[in-house]
Amino acid sequence: MRALIIDGYTDEPAGLGVPPYIDVYPRYVAGAIWTADKGAEVRYVTVDYARENLDRVMRYAASCDLVVFLTGVVVPGKYLGGEPIRLEELIRWPALIEGAIKVLGGPVARYGYGVVGGRVAVPPSEFEAYYDLVVRGDVEIVVYNLVKEGLRVEAVSPYELREGYELVDEFARRGARIVEQHPNHGWNLIAEIETYRGCPRWLVGGCSFCIEPRYGRVVFRSVEGIAREVEALYSHGVKCFRLGRQADFLAYMAEGVNEVEFPRPSPKRIEELLRSIRLAAPGLEVLHIDNVNPGTVAYHEEEAREALKVLVKYHTPGDVAAMGIESADPRVVKENNLGVMPEDSLKAIRIVNEVGARRGWNGMPELLPGINFVLGLKGETRETYRLNLEFLREVLREGLLVRRVNIRQVLVLPHTPMWHVGDRIIARHKKYFMSFKKRVREEFDKPMLRRVVPRGTVLKALYVEAHEGKYSLARQVGSYPLLVYVTERLRLRERLDVVVVEHGYRSVKGIPYPLDVNSASLESLSHVPGLSRREASAILAHRPFRRVEELASLVRRGALKYLCVGPASGTKGGRAPRVNLNCSAQGSKPNAEDWR
Beta strands in 327-417 (DSSP E): 367-375, 404-409
Nearest to 370 by CA among 383, 384, 393, 353: 353
Contacts of 95 (CB under 8 A, 6+ apart): 130
Helix axes 301-314, 342-356, angle to 10 degrees: 40
Q: What is the pLDDT of residue 335?
A: 96
Closest to 92 (Cα-Cα) out of 153, 16, 8: 8
Kindly give, in sequence order, each residue whose CB lies less than 8 Å from that of residue 325, ignoring residues fewer than 6 positions away. 294, 340, 342, 345, 371, 372, 373, 391
**pLDDT score at 118:** 55
pLDDT of residue 589: 28
Distance CA 138, CA 68 (A): 13
pLDDT at 119: 62
**Is the CATH code 3.60.15.10 the one for domain 189-452?**
no
Give the 3-state secondary structure of 270-299: HHHHHHHHHHHCCCCCEEEECECCHHHHHH
Q: How far apart are CA 76 and CA 361, in angstroms?
A: 32
Residues in the chain: 596
Residues of the chain with CATH 3.40.50: 2-155
pLDDT score at 413: 83
Distance of CA 493 to the CA centre of its chain: 19
Nearest to 300 by CA among 246, 366, 245, 347: 347
- 559 with 535: CB under 8 angstroms? yes
Regarding pTM above 0.75, the answer is: yes
**Neighbour count for residue 288 (Cβ, 10 Å):** 25
* Pairwise CA distance, residues 223 & 196, whole Å: 11
The boundaries of every CATH 3.80.30.20 domain in the chain are 189-452
In one-letter notation, the amino acid at residue 125 is S
CB-based contact 108:116 (threshold 8 Å): no
Q: What does 162-181 look like in DSSP terms, one character per residue? A: --SSHHHHHHHHHGGGGGGG
**Cα(311)–Cα(467) distance, integer angstroms:** 34
Contact 73, 107 (CB under 8 A): yes
pLDDT at 76: 74
Beta bridge mates, 373: 326, 407
Burial (CB count <10 Å: 0-12, 13-18, 19+), residue 574: middle
Give the integer Cα–Cα distance in Å for 576 and 111. Answer: 53
Task: Tell me yes or no: is domain 2-155 CATH 3.40.50.
Answer: yes
Please tell me the predicted confidence (pLDDT) of residue 116: 62
What CA–CA distance (Å, rounded) separates 213 from 211? 6
- 491-531: per-residue pLDDT in tens? 999 999 999 999 999 999 999 999 999 999 999 999 999 99
Q: Cβ atoms within 10 A of the Cβ of 283, count?
A: 6
R_g (Cα) of the chain, nearest Å: 25
H-type helices in 216-259, by residue range? Answer: 223-235
Which residues of the chain fall short of a pLDDT of 70?
A: 115-120, 568-596
